């Protein structure tokens, strides 16, 4: 019984082919390709509605306030620990 052997290029061959193709392409062609890819990606961007934008803004503001409170609390805690361990500064 004969097996069918599918001739698939190895990953190394594919990688080498991509490198050779990129080397043949000039810097201007590479820049044009990059700009085309940027435009294609920008076409995929979905602009949020006003309601979504306000919702996202609220979430970010709440998160920032929580993080500020956390950092403030940690600062106060470490200040207390430092003063407890080393005492108050002389003359201060």
Domain shared by 52 and 38, yes or no: no
pLDDT for res 3: 62
For the segment 30-47, what is each residue's pLDDT rounded down to a tens digit? Answer: 888 889 999 999 999 999
Number of domains in the chain: 2
| 1: in domain | no
For the segment 57-74, what is each residue's pLDDT rounded down to a tens digit? Answer: 999 999 999 999 999 999
Domain shared by 75 and 63, yes or no: yes
Domain shared by 52 and 32, yes or no: no
Q: Which domain holds residue 68?
A: 48-92
The residue count of the chain comes to 92
Interatomic CA distance for residues 11 and 14, integer angstroms: 5
Q: What is the DSSP letter of 47?
A: P
For the whole model, what pTM was predicted?
A: 0.52
pLDDT for res 1: 55
pLDDT for res 2: 59
pLDDT for res 17: 76
Domain shared by 29 and 52, yes or no: no
Domain shared by 88 and 56, yes or no: yes
| 5: in domain | no
């Amino acid at each position: 019984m004969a097996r069918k052997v599918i001739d698939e290029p190895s990953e190394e061959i594919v990688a080498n082919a991509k490198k050779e193709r990129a080397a043949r392409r000039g810097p201007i062609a590479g820049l044009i390709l990059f700009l085309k890819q940027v435009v294609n990606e920008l076409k995929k961007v979905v602009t949020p509605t006003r309601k979504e934008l306000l919702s996202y803004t609220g979430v970010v503001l709440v998160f920032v306030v929580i993080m500020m409170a956390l950092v403030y609390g940690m600062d106060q805690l470490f200040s207390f620990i430092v003063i407890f361990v080393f005492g108050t500064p002389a003359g201060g």
